[in-house]
Amino acid sequence: MNDPRPLIAHVIHHFGTGGMENGMVMLFNHLPEEKYRHAVINLAGYGEFRHRIRRADISFHDLGKQAGRDVSWHVRLNRLLKELRPDILHTRNLSALEAQFTGAWRGIRGRVHGEHGRDIYDLHGKNWKYNLLRRAARHAVHRYIAVSRDLEQWLHHDIGVPPQRVRQIYNGVDGARFHPRAEERPDLGRPDFFAGAECVFGTVGRLAAVKDYPTLVRAFALLCRQHPNPAGLRLVLVGDGPQRGQVEAAIHETGLTNAQVWLPGDRKDIADWLRALDVFCLTSLGEGISNTILESMASGLPVVATQVGGTPELIEAGVNGSLIPAGDAQTLAATLAGYALDPERRRREGLAARARIERDFVIERMAAQYAAVYDELLQR
């Protein structure tokens, strides 16, 4: 029997651990199950992260794209779209944008493209080859979704997308799962690490070059050398990735010890890790809208972050956190010192962060805004 629900085919490069993928999981878990079906088409595979989706009716497909100039995936995508016959094609980020041409050729009636952050090799969106592709794709895409006002303006001014075809939708966060610490720090397996801690700084994310974690390590080392009680300071970097070696090298070069810095690797219980922190730090060189910033704000943490991408749209300096220049370890160390010495400031800005989440970033609002875009396309 044919399923009457419209099918949305989501095309991405790889469904692994990441902020964009986390946003997709939240979207799948909060869109009305009786209203839409979903298929996730991956250019280059998918991982265990998909098991965080609470629905069992979402299919995953791998086009087997090889690294480099492999164009054979277009043929496989065409065959798959012919088989699936989706009502909407939803691509995300530059790596999946070319799928819009195949979608247009097949006549898929609703075509939407999401911009979740600029390419890692083009953090300011100025690469002429990339932008040539983006401009060519304007004729295939019916609606754009930008996760920040920064990306919305860039699509309009740099890519030439008419404003009426762009919808700016912020990511949402699960405020029930991510909530402030009530009393003691959660037990994360190393009580010795947290014993005597007066201020725990930390971050969560993939250890990749764009996150610039070595700068965070160097800033923390400077803080420890300048602080009157360095024995009460801790730094936690949750996650794994290709830059782990560089992060470990920075720890060794600055003389920090395992008693001061902890790299626990990938973890699934991120909400507990955030509740173990006192201040959340993000030293990214580029961002769209950071899910981990939203999750840390929901956890009642002040945020110290670099002034890049959509981050200034989340952090109001002196209210719920601080903004610093990217790559500036000295300024970061001085900023962290202000939080380490002032627990009342941490409490005050953490409360303001949580209040901002409850006002502007509830996950139900995000799901409703995506549903509005889908419904508009289905009525074409």
Does residue 183 form part of some domain? no
Instruction: Say if residue 77 is in the same domain as residue 129.
Output: yes
306-328 per-position pLDDT tens digit: 999 999 999 999 999 999 999 99
Does residue 343 form part of some domain? yes
**pTM across the whole model:** 0.89
Amino acid 106: pLDDT:
96
Does residue 90 form part of some domain? yes
% of the chain at pLDDT higher than 90:
89
Instruction: Say if residue 161 is in the same domain as residue 13.
Output: yes
Instruction: Say if residue 329 is in the same domain as residue 371.
Output: no
251-291 per-position pLDDT tens digit: 999 999 999 999 999 998 999 999 999 999 999 999 989 99
The average pLDDT across 72-85 equals 96
What is the CA 154 to chain-centroid distance, rounded? 19
Instruction: Say if residue 214 is in the same domain as residue 228.
Output: yes
The average pLDDT across 124-139 equals 94
Q: Mean pLDDT of all residues in the chain?
A: 95
Does residue 181 form part of some domain? no
Amino acid 3: pLDDT:
87
HEC letters along the chain: CCCCCCEEEEEECCECCCHHHHHHHHHHHHCCCCCCEEEEEECCCECHHHHHCCCCCCEEEECCCCCCCCCCHHHHHHHHHHHHCCCEEEEEHHHHCCHHHHHHHCCCCEEEEEECCCCCCCCCCCCHHHHHHHHHHCCCCCEEEECCHHHHHHHHHCCCCCHHHEEECCCCECCCCCCCCCCCCCCCCCHHHHCCCCEEEEEECCCCHHHCHHHHHHHHHHHHHHCCCHHHEEEEEECCCCCHHHHHHHHHHHCCCCCCEEEEECCCCHHHHHHCCCEEEECCCCCCCCHHHHHHHHCCCCEEEECCCCHHHCCCECCCEEEECCCCHHHHHHHHHHHHCCHHHHHHHHHHHHHHHHHHCEHHHHHHHHHHHHHHHHCC
Instruction: Say if residue 214 is in the same domain as residue 132.
Output: no
Amino acid 294: pLDDT:
96
Instruction: Say if residue 127 is in the same domain as residue 159.
Output: yes
Instruction: Say if residue 105 is in the same domain as residue 216.
Output: no
Instruction: Say if residue 204 is in the same domain as residue 98.
Output: no
Instruction: Say if residue 200 is in the same domain as residue 321.
Output: yes
CATH of the domain at 310: 3.40.50.2000
150-180 per-position pLDDT tens digit: 999 999 999 999 999 999 999 999 999 999 9
353-366 per-position pLDDT tens digit: 999 999 999 999 99
Does residue 180 form part of some domain? no
Measured CA to CA in angstroms, residue 328 lies from 161, 165, 179, 259, 271 at distances of 34, 37, 30, 25, 28
Instruction: Say if residue 161 is in the same domain as residue 200.
Output: no
Does residue 184 form part of some domain? no
Instruction: Say if residue 321 is in the same domain as residue 366.
Output: no
Instruction: Say if residue 254 is in the same domain as residue 151.
Output: no
The average pLDDT across 56-62 equals 95
Does residue 177 form part of some domain? no
| Domain total of the chain | 2
Structural domain that includes position 163: 7-172+362-378
Amino acid 1: pLDDT:
54
288-304 per-position pLDDT tens digit: 899 999 999 999 999 99
The average pLDDT across 214-226 equals 97
Does residue 15 form part of some domain? yes
172-202 per-position pLDDT tens digit: 999 999 999 998 899 898 999 999 999 999 9
